[in-house]
Amino acid sequence: MALLSLESDRLEMPKAPEDRPMRSVRIGAVAISTDAEHALHLPSELPSLAIEPEWKDQQRLWGHSFHPMCSYLASFPASLTHAFIARYTRPGDVVLDPFSGRGTTPLQACAEGRVGAGNDLNPFAQILTAAKVDPPTKADVKIRLATLRLAWAASSREWNALADRIVADPGASDLLVPGPGSRPISGTPTRRSPDGSIPYRPDTSVSAEVALAFHARTLAQLLYLRAGLDPDDRTDRFFLATLTGILHGKSASYLSAVMPNTFSMAPRYVRDFVARTGFQSPERDAFALLEDKLRRLYRQPLPATRGIALLGDARDAGVRFREALHERGLPERARLVVSSPPYLRVVKYGYYNWLRLWLLGYDASAIDDLLDDAHHHDAYLVFMREVLGGLRSALADDAVIALVIGDVEMDRGRPASGGVGLAESVWELAAAPEGYRLAGIALDDVAANRKMTKLWGDEAGQATKLDRILILATSEAGRRRAINGAGLPIDWQWPPRLPRAL
């Protein structure tokens, strides 16, 4: 996606060929594809909507302090979401994102007193979103950290001995470690089966690339935290999400220095790199770094409202959003959607997060098989039609829908079929047939050094210049609301000095 939000390491990424994204992406001018194969799908020129892309002028970390919890590929900046939340909603309104990623839209909506509800099919994304929109209090965090430290002091010898053996023989299949969440640490209100037992999570071996990524002392602490934290508990989930954000990176604030923060280098790259250079990850204290990161995350007050984070397919998110809102006694229909659907065959969220997924206990390739990030043009439009059709039941009569859609110009070095003008195609072949109204397309010329493709190096694809935001509505009233609100001035003060009211 065009507007990556990165905390660090932008210039430090090793360039192993296997670590580049599957395809290169380029968002070109508003030229429409002339690919004969898709002649029947040629979108016509659509009206533009003059929304000033002021979000680009804001500081990189504009928005609530929870946003930079963990880097996430193809996330958009919180300032972009604010431009729509401020224009098209009032406090108390529901704001949806069926592809919530790291939770940018729902978190910023909650921080502005709206009800932010996110959904994603990637469990890593759901954990990040849930941590942000349903966070523990600062006091809960302090108490839990103290408990974890105390319990660590009592059991560290055993974990250190286990980690020493793993690091001495990386990849040994007979050295088993407790599965994620399988050894609750005192005070964890762990999910239990009806008979009171803790659900069985098998012990597993640790792959060589995980063993090589950490110093033995750090690995011991991570094994302890991984086995002890419960993702179903609000505070523990926040800790796990925070740990994913500090798991790897090229400064002393990260637990492993073997790879950059933005995404995981390929497992084979890690093994080869260590063999070639004799690299050893420095010793890092997980509790100290966790505490530092938590302090940074909690430097602003908690978001004003609690939100919702669902795990599931965007195609049936509408029904699930309504159920979840109903259960909580909240308005069941949203007035705004701000979302960026998956790219056409670009990002592999499992592969590029394999080390974070190891921590959370998920299989990276299973996640890549699950997600809809590998579609070709036609299948993508069918997918988007199903998503938009399914969402309607959760939208208010005058709802506004902003979809950030990136073009894909190249696919494995060849022009991508129908990859340019994708926003226009989504309108004609996915949104219009589902009865949506078109307000227009807003253009966003993105600073070249912030484009995702640039991050993988110039060979991977040229930096792109334009992003398109397709702005839809559920009715004529919504369409007029979208058009009339486009020019409204926005208050960019953050944190707000006074509670915002529109």
Q: Report the interface residues with ligand SAM, using CB under 6 A.
A: 1, 72, 74-76, 99, 101-102, 104, 120-122, 125, 313-314, 340, 342, 349, 371-373
Neighbouring residues of 269: CB distance < 8 A, sequence distance ≥ 6: 14, 16, 18, 19
CA 333 to chain centre: 24
Task: Compare residues 58 and 160 and give the one whose CB is closer to ligand SAM.
Answer: 58
Nearest approach in angstroms of CB 103 to ligand SAM is 6
Give which of 75, 27, 48, 73 is closest to 338, Cα–Cα. 75
Task: Compare residues 171 and 361 and give the one whose CB is closer to ligand SAM.
Answer: 361
Neighbouring residues of 73: CB distance < 8 A, sequence distance ≥ 6: 1, 4, 262, 263, 347, 349, 352, 452
Name the packing angle between helices 138-168 and 234-245 (round to 10°). Answer: 50
Task: Compare residues 118 and 178 and give the one whose CB is closer to ligand SAM.
Answer: 118
Nearest approach in angstroms of CB 331 to ligand SAM is 23
Task: Compare residues 206 and 360 and give the one whose CB is closer to ligand SAM.
Answer: 360
Nearest approach in angstroms of CB 316 to ligand SAM is 9
Provide the 10 A C-beta neighbour count for residue 204.
16
Task: Compare residues 73 and 473 and give the one whose CB is closer to ligand SAM.
Answer: 73
Task: Compare residues 402 and 438 and give the one whose CB is closer to ligand SAM.
Answer: 402
Neighbouring residues of 421: CB distance < 8 A, sequence distance ≥ 6: 30, 31, 32, 33, 42, 43, 407
Residue 213, SS3 per DSSP = helix
Exposed/middle/buried for residue 28 (C-beta within 10 Å: 0-12, 13-18, 19+): middle
Task: Compare residues 127 and 243 and give the one whose CB is closer to ligand SAM.
Answer: 127
Nearest approach in angstroms of CB 321 to ligand SAM is 12
- CA atoms of 219 and 222, how far apart (whole Å): 5
Nearest approach in angstroms of CB 368 to ligand SAM is 10
Provide the 10 A C-beta neighbour count for residue 329.
7
Nearest approach in angstroms of CB 332 to ligand SAM is 20
Nearest approach in angstroms of CB 3 to ligand SAM is 8
Nearest approach in angstroms of CB 290 to ligand SAM is 22
Residue of this chain nearest to ligand SAM (CB atom): 101
Nearest approach in angstroms of CB 102 to ligand SAM is 4
Provide the 10 A C-beta neighbour count for residue 499.
9
Nearest approach in angstroms of CB 451 to ligand SAM is 14
- Helix/strand/coil (H/E/C) assignment for every residue in 53-100: CHHHHCCCCCCCCCHHHCCCCCCCCHHHHHHHHHHHCCCCCEEEECCC
Is the distance from CB of 346 to CB of 23 less than 8 angstroms? Answer: yes
Task: Compare residues 225 and 346 and give the one whose CB is closer to ligand SAM.
Answer: 346
Q: How far is it between the farthest Cα atoms of the chain?
A: 68
Task: Compare residues 5 and 207 and give the one whose CB is closer to ligand SAM.
Answer: 5
Handedness of CA 140, 143, 145, 147 (dihedral sign): negative
Count Cα neighbours of 213 within 13 Å in the Cβ-side half-sphere: 29
Residue 288, SS3 per DSSP = helix
Task: Compare residues 2 and 212 and give the one whose CB is closer to ligand SAM.
Answer: 2
Is the distance from CB of 39 to CB of 285 less than 8 angstroms? Answer: no
Neighbouring residues of 376: CB distance < 8 A, sequence distance ≥ 6: 344, 345, 417
Residue with tokens 């702005």: 471
Nearest approach in angstroms of CB 74 to ligand SAM is 4
Task: Compare residues 54 and 292 and give the one whose CB is closer to ligand SAM.
Answer: 54
Strands across the sheet with 94-97, in order?
A: 308-311, 115-120, 94-97, 334-339, 395-405, 466-473, 437-445
Partners of 205 in the β-ladder: 176
Nearest approach in angstroms of CB 367 to ligand SAM is 8
Task: Compare residues 216 and 344 and give the one whose CB is closer to ligand SAM.
Answer: 344
